[in-house]
Amino acid sequence: MNANQHCTVLEVERVICTEIFGLTFWVGFLKLIDQNMDRAEGIVYFINKADALKLDIGDQVSRQSVFHLTADLKNNNTSFRG
């Protein structure tokens, strides 16, 4: 996926609340597709709960704001598993 592109949300798998270094974040686990029809899974962090919860199918997100899950993470037993 090109870093300057926007991705379209295909599915919002779940949104969770997490705390990192004493700060609260909302994390959306997504399935995405870009303009080249490449599909990927990733997560997007939000500070605002309302923004995280209104994320929906068809929404556009910047490719640069998505942390993409690698094949290694998908096979591990971590909280960021896809």
Per-position pLDDT tens, the chain of length 82: 455 678 899 999 999 999 989 999 999 999 998 888 889 899 999 999 999 999 999 999 887 788 876 544 444 333 333 3
Query: What is residue 3's predicted lDDT score, i.e. its pLDDT?
Result: 53
Q: Where are the domains of the chain?
A: 6-75
- H/E element holding 31? strand 23-33
* pTM as predicted: 0.71
Position of tokens 């709960």? 49
Query: What is residue 6's predicted lDDT score, i.e. its pLDDT?
Result: 86
- Angstrom CA distances, 53 to 17, 56, 60, 69, stand at 11, 8, 15, 21
